[in-house]
């Protein structure tokens, strides 16, 4: 295969002509290209040779590319075509490539700022759009597996497009060759994926819930010193509380999406989208997905109607806000027909229930008196009291102890751009990783007066949380004299196209580098 460069065709039919490199990521390169048959701009992603050499990956890639191409929805970045380019030097295996819609916009990861929460109304709208797009894929049996801000492109008119369908599925079965790497992105990976289990639509819901948390809190819910530690935190650590400024109903929706057990989340993207758009209705029982209610039938009280299982389950999974439980109680009271005999018939049962609760409380006090004050089992008490759904005061007194880990200030490191700009990007990447940071590398066009591989910028800077992602932008190979002016003129002449490239490029590059 001819080395990748502007003017090179990636296919033997000479349909897709490369124009300029948008970004370089962990799985390959993304180029702006021209479809010479339909006369339109497209994004072409060429995968790295090591992926091409794995026969299992190539088979999965082709299957998933077909599935992704079958998705037709305004919220999904379309896959137009896929194929195999000629082998690179030193290999006999063709290189897989995807031809995708070139999106005019920026990844959500670019819009996020550390310690700067987004407006709750904007978060509802943007992530509901993303959830709807995921719901369309889920209805067709397709799971994204790598939902994160870098794969959510926001257009100038505030529309969201989800990208990179099929890539994570194809890569899921490949052996990991780099120490400490986790398939998927650790900050957004679901607990079941972190444990090596199969991803489901509920896994995408969890990952999008992490994105929602980060948008509302200005930081991800879990961030550790290493990718592995971050993935483990998703499995073991309780979800921190969102800021008090976040509306309680929206916070409850996000908390449920972040449930550790898949069955306690929204069943798919469509259910999550409905909850984001009408969180108050969901809290009152107006909108619901059947997934969570089927996973915990023991929460249904013997004499209660079956429809009460949904509010009880939600109250347990959300737990952190009392307003949700009260709204559900009102909804249930209105749904029952009036009866004069019902209160009298229930009086003996109410008395018995109160006696049982008093006995249970006394027994708990005796047991607590025997326990070691330093015993760390206390945070598990709320799970023991899940079956008696009519005892919210007990769980409320227990829960203040569980958020204690969140009171710790996250570890931070100082990222000084002056210490990295102008240096070789490989050395900078190594130093940042030694500080406990994740690194995304983005290669940009060289204006001609910069050294190849030298760092142009580092973002974000200042105090950065350990485990966060830092984007290192560096210059590519300098163009020769014959093509330098042409490339520069094209960039200056089409500013909007540059934004398009940045959207796809950062999405593709960041979406797979981790």
CA distances from 284 to 252, 289, 308, 329, 334 (A): 12, 13, 11, 8, 11
Q: What tokens appear for 318 in the block? A: 């959300």
Per-residue buried b or exposed e for 58-84, using 16+ beta carbons within 10 Å of the residue's own CB: bebbeebbebbbebeeebbbbbbbbbb
- Phi, psi torsion values for 163, nearest 5 degrees: -120, 170
Give yes or no for a contact between 456 and 473, defined as CB atoms under 8 angstroms apart.
yes
Q: How many residues does the chain have?
A: 514
Helix (H) or strand (E) run with residue 487 in it: helix 481-493
Whether residue 493 contacts residue 487, with contact meaning beta carbons closer than 8 Å, is answered with no
Q: Is the Cβ–Cβ distance between 19 and 493 less than 8 Å? A: no
Residue 504 has a pLDDT of 57
What pLDDT sits at residue 56?
Answer: 74
Domains and CATH numbers, the chain: 16-101 (3.30.200.20), 106-298+307-334 (1.10.510.10), 412-513 (3.30.10.20)
What's the pLDDT at 36? 96
DSSP for 213-268 reads HHHHHSS-S---SSHHHHHHHHHHSPPPPPPTTS-HHHHHHHHHHT-SSGGGS-SS
Question: Along the 514 residues of the chain, how does pLDDT read in single tens digits?
Answer: 567 889 999 988 999 999 998 877 667 788 999 999 999 999 998 887 777 777 777 777 777 778 778 888 999 999 999 888 877 666 677 888 889 999 988 899 989 988 899 999 999 999 999 999 999 999 988 899 889 998 999 999 999 999 887 565 545 544 333 333 445 578 999 999 999 888 999 999 999 999 999 999 999 999 888 888 999 999 999 999 999 999 999 999 999 999 999 999 999 999 999 999 987 665 555 454 433 333 333 333 333 333 333 333 333 333 333 333 333 333 333 333 443 444 444 445 555 665 565 555 544 443 444 444 333 433 333 434 344 444 444 444 444 444 444 445 567 888 888 889 999 999 999 889 888 888 888 888 787 788 899 998 888 888 887 877 888 889 888 776 544 444 444 444 444 344 444 455 444 444 444 4
Residue 263 near residue 292 (C-beta atoms within 8 A): yes
Q: Which residues are catalytic?
A: 146
């Amino acid at each position: 295969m001819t080395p990748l460069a502007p003017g090179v065709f990636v296919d033997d039919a000479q349909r897709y002509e490369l124009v300029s490199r948008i970004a370089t990521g962990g799985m390959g390169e993304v180029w702006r290209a021209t479809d010479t048959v339909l006369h339109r701009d497209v994004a072409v992603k060429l995968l790295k040779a090591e992926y091409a050499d794995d026969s299992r990956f190539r088979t999965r890639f082709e299957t998933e590319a077909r599935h992704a191409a079958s998705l037709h929805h305004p919220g999904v970045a379309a896959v137009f075509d896929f194929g195999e380019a000629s082998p690179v030097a030193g290999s006999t295996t063709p290189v897989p490539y995807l031809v995708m819609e070139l999106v005019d916009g920026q990844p959500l990861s670019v819009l996020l700022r550390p310690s700067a929460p987004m407006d709750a109304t904007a978060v509802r709208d943007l992530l509901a759009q993303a959830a709807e797009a995921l719901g369309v894929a889920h209805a067709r049996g397709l799971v994204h597996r790598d939902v994160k801000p870098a794969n959510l492109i926001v257009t100038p008119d505030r529309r969201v497009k989800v990208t990179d369908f099929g890539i994570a599925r194809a890569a899921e079965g490949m052996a990991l060759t780099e120490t400490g790497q986790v398939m998927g992105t650790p900050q957004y990976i679901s607990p079941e994926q972190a444990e090596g289990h199969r991803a489901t639509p509920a896994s995408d819901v969890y990952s999008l819930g992490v994105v929602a948390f980060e948008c509302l809190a200005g930081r991800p819910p879990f961030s550790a010193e290493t990718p592995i530690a971050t993935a483990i935190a998703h499995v073991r650590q309780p979800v921190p509380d969102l800021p008090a400024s976040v509306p309680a109903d929206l916070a409850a929706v996000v908390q449920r999406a972040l449930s550790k057990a898949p069955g306690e989340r929204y069943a798919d993207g469509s259910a999550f989208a409905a909850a984001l758009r009408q969180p108050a209705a969901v809290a009152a029982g107006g909108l619901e997905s059947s997934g969570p209610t089927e996973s915990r039938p023991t929460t249904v009280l013997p004499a209660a109607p079956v429809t009460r299982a949904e509010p009880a389950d939600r109250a347990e999974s959300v737990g952190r806000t009392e307003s949700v439980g009260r709204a559900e109680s009102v909804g249930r009271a209105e749904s029952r027909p009036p009866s004069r005999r019902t209160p009298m018939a229930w009086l003996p049962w109410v008395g018995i229930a109160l006696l049982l609760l008093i006995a249970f409380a006394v027994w708990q006090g005796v047991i607590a008196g025997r326990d070691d004050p330093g015993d760390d089992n206390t945070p598990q008490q709320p799970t023991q009291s899940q079956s008696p759904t009519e005892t919210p005061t007990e769980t409320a007194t227990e829960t203040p102890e569980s958020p204690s880990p969140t009171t710790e200030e996250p570890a931070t490191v100082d990222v000084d751009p002056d210490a990295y700009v102008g240096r070789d990007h490989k050395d900078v990447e190594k130093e940042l990783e030694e500080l406990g940071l994740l690194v995304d590398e983005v290669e940009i066009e060289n204006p001609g007066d910069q050294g190849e591989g030298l760092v142009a910028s580092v973002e974000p800077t200042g105090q950065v949380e350990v485990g966060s992602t830092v984007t290192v932008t560096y210059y590519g190979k300098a163009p020769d004299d014959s093509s330098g002016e042409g490339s520069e003129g094209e960039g200056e002449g089409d500013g909007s196209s540059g934004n398009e490239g940045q959207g796809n490029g950062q999405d593709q590059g960041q979406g797979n580098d981790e």
